[in-house]
Structure formats: C-alpha cells, structure tokens
C-alpha cells in the first residue's frame, strides 16, 4: 500500500508541475499590424505601501482603440487602478499585465517584487529565488514579530524545507489512515500535513531508529538535496561523475548530489573569485536563501523554458 501511495503522490506532483509549465505565459507585444504595447521596465522592486505609475508605450492601427486594461496576478500582493497606478500591498511577487482592450492578446507584463526588508539587493544570489518562491506561494516570509523579513541567511529547518517542497508539490493532504506518527510533529503545527506527505511519499523517513522527524533541527545541504532527489523520483545517475572532495560514493546522499550537480541545481562552493572549490559542503547547514535558490533551479530543471 505504501508503494501505491508513493506512486500516486509522485503522479500528483508531476501533474501539478507540468500544469504550472503549461501555464507559462506566451504573449506578443505586437501583432505586426500596427498594434503594440511596450513597457519601459519589466521588473521592479517596491516597498509595502509604495506606488508606481506604469507608462506603457502604445501604438494602434487606424480604427483601433488605444484604451488599455490592467490585470494583476495576485491581488494580495499589489493593486492597480484603471490608469495603471500600482500599489504594493504585501510582501511577495506579482505580475501586472497591460493589454489593449480590443486586442487582449497584445500585452506586456510588469513583474513587481514587493521586497522583504532583508532581500533588497538585486545582485544577491538568492534574490530571484526568494521572489520566485513568494510568487508561487512557497514562502510568505516570516510572520509575527518578524513580519516583513525572509531571513535569507538563517538556517532552514527540516520542517521549513519539507513545507516548501509540499507547497511546490500542490499541498496534497493524503489519507490519514496511513499517517506516520512522529513525536515531534504535533497535529496543530504548520508543517504537520507537509511532513505526512513527505513521509508517505518516502521523501523522508525521519531519523532512523527513532520516532523523530527533527522538525526544528537545521537541515544540512546533503539532507536537502536528498529530499529533492526523492521528490523527483530518484532518477538514475552515474556515480563516476561525482567530483566533490567531501562526498564519497558510499554516502547515502551521493546519488542525490551527483543528480543535483549534473542538472545545475548546485555547483558546490566557490571561492571569492567565483571559482569552484571542489567542495559540496557536506555537513553544513543550508540557509533559507540557499533553499530558495535551489528550488528555483529545480523548477527550471522541470521547466527549462521558465523565463525568470
């Protein structure tokens, strides 16, 4: 029965991911007949409460109205009025589209990153990953006293990692009849269903020889790539391609690391000049910024045409 559950879970996962792929926007700025829309900027950063005036350059053929229509991807993140004035409402990422009212297939998109207070440097390696994750509902950043912060340099706990994966996979709630009891996973925790989903799909087994999942423990880099590798179904790999000094072929995570490195999900550590050090970082804690970056790379692996 458990293997059957795993097959169902993976099929559901893939259907969600490929569903997202098929929804990737394909649009035209012009139709070749004199109708076009072009935005001077296609991605901006904003602060909560801030405003931005969209200024599309519009040309229309004779007899075609230049009236515009604005639409938003996520109304919880931004709003837009009839004149294209955008207001940032909450932390995250949303697209704002502008199109010709009479030709809705001709449009351009402004991507708005309503920036977390600690993710404002567009050159940071994790910037795109964080806002991609926010757009897809994988993270909303911290809540409570730390609202407005993402914590890119904070250790990512095992509970947080599994929750991110669960959200990416569609937040399936499986049959409680098959739930696994972990003594450190209370039913009222935010990660309860995520851990159950991961356990039933054999993405995690918890700590061997115990009834513990390790919810509040910091996740290591090898644990995380192993979760990802199991998440995608453990495809075959060639261990002769293992090139990291701190990963042995006999390690339980060796195949996961080879798979991740072979598919551009990790490059291992680099020095101050960007040159590979030959180390993966075995035993090191994975940060929330690294997790968001790995997940974006993973999504690009699933959907190589994703533009972000």
Residue with the bigger pLDDT between 63 and 191: it is 191
User: Does any domain span residue 13?
Assistant: yes
- Residue 29, in any domain of the structure: no
Give dist(CA 251, CA 280) in Å, integer. 13
Between 151 and 20, residue with greater pLDDT: 151
Domain co-membership, 99 together with 147: no
In a domain, 274, yes or no: yes
Whether 284 is covered by a domain: the verdict is yes
pLDDT tens-digit map of 89-109: 999 999 999 999 988 888 999
How much is the pTM? 0.84
Q: Is 50 exceeded by the pLDDT of residue 293?
A: yes
Are residues 84 and 49 part of one domain? Answer: yes
- Kindly indicate the confidence band of residue 5, based on its pLDDT and cuts at 50, 70 and 90: very low
Classify residue 170: in a domain, yes or no: yes
**What pLDDT score does 104 carry?**
82
Per the CB < 8 A criterion, the answer to whether 112 and 88 are in contact is yes
Domain final residue, candidates 114, 146, 162: 114
Handedness of CA 180, 184, 186, 189 (dihedral sign): negative
One domain, residues 205 and 102: no
246 and 108 within one domain: no
Residue 91 within any structural domain of the chain: yes
- pLDDT (mean) for 225-247: 96
**Do 206 and 262 fall into the same domain?**
yes
Q: Is the pLDDT of residue 4 over 70?
A: no
CA angle (118, 125, 55) in 5-degree steps: 75
Residue in this structure with the two tokens 């297939």, named with its chain if needed: 105
Domain CATH for 83: 2.60.40.1080
Range of the domain at 189: 2-23+117-302
Residues 88 and 101 in one domain: yes
Query: Are both 110 and 138 inside the same structural domain?
Result: no
* pLDDT at res. 21: 36
Q: In the predicted model, is pLDDT for residue 302 greater than 60?
A: yes
Residue, of 5 and 281, whose pLDDT is higher: 281
Q: What confidence tier does 284 reach under pLDDT thresholds 50, 70, 90?
A: very high
Higher-scoring residue by pLDDT: 21, 174: 174
- Rounded distance, CA 58 to CA 303, Å? 32
Helix H or strand E encompassing 108 = strand 103-114
- Decide which of 11 and 148 is more confident: 148
CA 182, 254, 257, 288 torsion-angle sign: positive
- Average pLDDT estimate for 24-35: 69
Region for 136 from its dihedrals, namely left if φ exceeds 0, alpha if ψ lies in -120 to 50, beta otherwise: alpha
Would residue 80 count as lying in a domain? yes
Strands 103-114 and 43-46: parallel
First to last CA, the chain: 39
Query: How many other β-carbons are positioned within 10 Å of the β-carbon of residue 260?
Result: 27
Minimum mean pLDDT among 27-36, 140-149, 272-281: which range?
A: 27-36
Q: What is the pLDDT of residue 57?
A: 95
Indicate if 236 and 127 belong to the same structural domain. yes
| pLDDT band per the 50, 70, 90 thresholds, residue 20 | very low
- Number of domain units in the chain: 2
Question: Looking at the DSSP assignment, which residues form a beta bridge with residue 53?
Answer: 85
95 and 173 together in one domain:
no
End-of-domain residue from the set 114, 130, 156: 114
pLDDT single digits (tens) 36-92? 999 999 999 999 999 999 999 999 988 888 999 999 999 999 999 999 999 999 999
pLDDT of residue 28: 67
Q: Given pLDDT bands bounded at 50, 70 and 90, which one contains residue 136?
A: very high
In a 13 Å sphere around the CA of 97, the CA atoms on its Cβ side amount to: 16
Backbone phi, psi, residue 97, to 5°: -100, 145
Asked if the structure places residue 31 within a domain, the reply is no
Same domain for 214 and 239, yes or no, is yes
Query: What pLDDT band is residue 12 in, cutting at 50, 70 and 90?
Result: very low
125 and 269 in a common domain: yes
Least reliable range by pLDDT among 191-195, 248-252, 274-278: 274-278
On whether both 109 and 126 belong to a single domain, the answer is no
**Most distant CA atoms of the chain, gap in Å:** 75
Q: Last residue of a domain, which of 114, 138, 159? A: 114
Of the chain, the percentage scoring pLDDT greater than 70 comes to 91
Res 7: pLDDT: 33
């Amino acid at each position: 029965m458990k293997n059957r559950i795993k097959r169902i879970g993976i099929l559901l996962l893939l259907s969600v991911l490929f569903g997202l792929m098929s929804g990737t926007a394909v649009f035209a700025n012009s139709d070749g007949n004199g109708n076009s829309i072009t935005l001077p900027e296609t991605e901006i950063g904003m602060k909560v409460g801030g405003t931005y005036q969209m200024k599309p350059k519009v040309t229309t053929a004779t007899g075609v109205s230049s009236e515009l229509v604005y639409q938003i991807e996520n109304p919880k993140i931004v709003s837009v009025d009839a004149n294209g004035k955008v207001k940032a409402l909450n932390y995250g990422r949303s697209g704002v589209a502008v199109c010709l009212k009479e030709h809705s297939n001709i449009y351009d998109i402004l991507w708005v990153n309503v920036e977390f207070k600690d993710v404002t440097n567009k050159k940071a390696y994790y910037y795109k990953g964080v806002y991609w994750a926010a757009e897809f509902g994988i993270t909303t950043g911290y809540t409570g006293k730390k609202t407005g912060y993402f914590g890119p340099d904070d250790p990512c706990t095992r509970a947080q990692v599994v929750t991110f994966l669960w959200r990416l996979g569609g937040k399936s709630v499986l049959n409680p009849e098959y739930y696994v009891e972990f003594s450190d996973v209370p039913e009222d925790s935010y990660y309860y269903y995520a851990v159950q989903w991961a356990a039933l799909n054999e993405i995690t087994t918890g700590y061997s020889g115990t009834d513990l999942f390790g919810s509040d423990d910091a996740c290591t880099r090898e644990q995380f790539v192993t979760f990802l590798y199991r998440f995608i179904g453990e495809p075959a790999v060639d261990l002769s391609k293992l090139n990291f000094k701190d990963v042995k072929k006999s390690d339980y995570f060796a195949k996961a690391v080879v798979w991740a490195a072979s598919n551009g999900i990790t490059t291992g550590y680099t020095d101050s000049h960007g040159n590979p050090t030959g180390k993966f970082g075995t035993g090191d804690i994975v940060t929330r910024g690294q997790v968001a970056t790995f997940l974006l790379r993973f999504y690009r692996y699933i959907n190589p045409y994703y533009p972000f």
